[in-house]
Amino acid sequence: DTEVTQTPKHLVMGMTNKKSLKCEQHMGHRAMYWYKQKAKKPPELMFVYSYEKLSINESVPSRFSPECPNSSLLNLHLHALQPEDSALYLCASSQYGETILGEYTFGSGTRLTVV
Amino acid sequence: GNSVTQMEGPVTLSEEAFLTINCTYTATGYPSLFWYVQYPGEGLQLLLKATKADDKGSNKGFEATYRKETTSFHLEKGSVQVSDSAVYFCALRLGGGGSNYKLTFGKGTLLTVNP
């Protein structure tokens, strides 16, 4: 298995809803990442987990809450989002911890619309 | 800081035309360089990479050579196909800790290939 699987592929949520995005990989990668991509823009890093511990938070608002229950799974919990949070959310993983130059493998993303 | 500059496009070509997408970088240190491709509605796929000066990355007919003297990593393909229509991102990554570990992306180049 050489994939990063993200679910759901599409999500529409209201500003008062709570929802979660899920990301899974079975490649034994020890670093996992959340990126946010707005239309016609490059991805922007949000969070990095290295060996299941949060190592980087790129000053992301607290309405986004990451969680790494085990080495294969990464969640992003969403609460009280704003319409401007609508974007493609990409998960990625890499073979080593984030300080070593392993390749990134990206998932296909969750397209989130906040109404 | 680290940065990547790539031609923004859009680039429109006819099938079987020659493709060049320019990419230059600024980095403190010796980065690894990457080209990622994003097909419509999908996540990012690693197209090719080079980890040291004069390395040539290649995949699916695409090539790019790591030129340290010109700090460049231009993407080329001799004969494009309609199926190559996508957004192409040049990116760099450094080793070590702190913020150097993360991928720094260019703004992306939209390529459209017409039959």
Model pLDDT for residues A19-71, shown as the tens digit of each residue: 999 999 999 998 899 999 999 899 999 999 988 999 889 999 999 999 999 99
Residues of B in contact with A48 (CB under 8 A): 101-102
CA distance A68 to A88: 20
How many CA within 13 A on the CB side of residue A101? 16
Residues of B in contact with A43 (CB under 8 A): 44, 103, 105
Q: Determine the pLDDT at residue A102.
A: 67
Could you say which of A42, A100, A103 has the minimum Cβ distance to residue B105? A42
Q: What are phi and psi of A55, to 5 degrees?
A: -110, -25
Percentage of chain B lying above the pLDDT 70 cut = 94
Q: Which long-range contacts (CB under 8 A, 24 or more apart) does B45-48 make?
A: B45/A106, B46/A103, B46/A104, B46/A105, B46/A106, B47/B75, B47/B88
- What average pLDDT does this structure show over B74-97? 91
Q: Is the pLDDT assigned to residue B41 strictly greater than 70?
A: yes
Q: Determine the pLDDT at residue A19.
A: 97
Does any CB of chain A come closer than 8 Å to the CB of residue B101? Answer: yes
| Residue A99 to residue B101, Cβ atoms within 8 A | yes
Q: Is the pLDDT assigned to residue A101 strictly greater than 70?
A: no
Percentage of chain B lying above the pLDDT 90 cut = 75
| Residue A43 to residue B44, Cβ atoms within 8 A | yes
Residue type, position A8, single letter = P
Among A95, A92, A105, A115, which residue's Cα sits nearest to residue A46? A92
- Of chain B residues 33-72, which have a CB less than 8 A from chain A? 36, 41-46, 49, 51
Q: Is the pLDDT assigned to residue B101 strictly greater than 80?
A: no
Q: Determine the pLDDT at residue A104.
A: 86
| Residue B101 to residue A104, Cβ atoms within 8 A | no
Q: Is the pLDDT assigned to residue B103 strictly greater than 90?
A: no
| Residue A99 to residue B96, Cβ atoms within 8 A | yes
Q: Determine the pLDDT at residue A98.
A: 55
- What average pLDDT does this structure show over B81-87? 97
Q: Determine the pLDDT at residue B1.
A: 79
Residues of A in contact with B108 (CB under 8 A): 40-42
Tell me how many helices (H) and strands (E) chain B has.
Answer: 0, 12
CA distance B22 to B74: 5
**How would you classify the pairing of strands A73-79 and B32-38?**
unpaired
Pair B14, B6: CB distance under 8 Å: no
- What average pLDDT does this structure show over B72-90? 97
Among B8, B32, B22, which residue's Cα sits nearest to residue B101? B32
User: Which candidate in B25, B44, B93 is best for mutational testing of the A interface (most A CBs within 10 A)?
Assistant: B44
| A73-79 sheet: strands from edge to edge | A4-7, A18-25, A73-79, A64-70
CA A14 remoteness from chain centre: 20
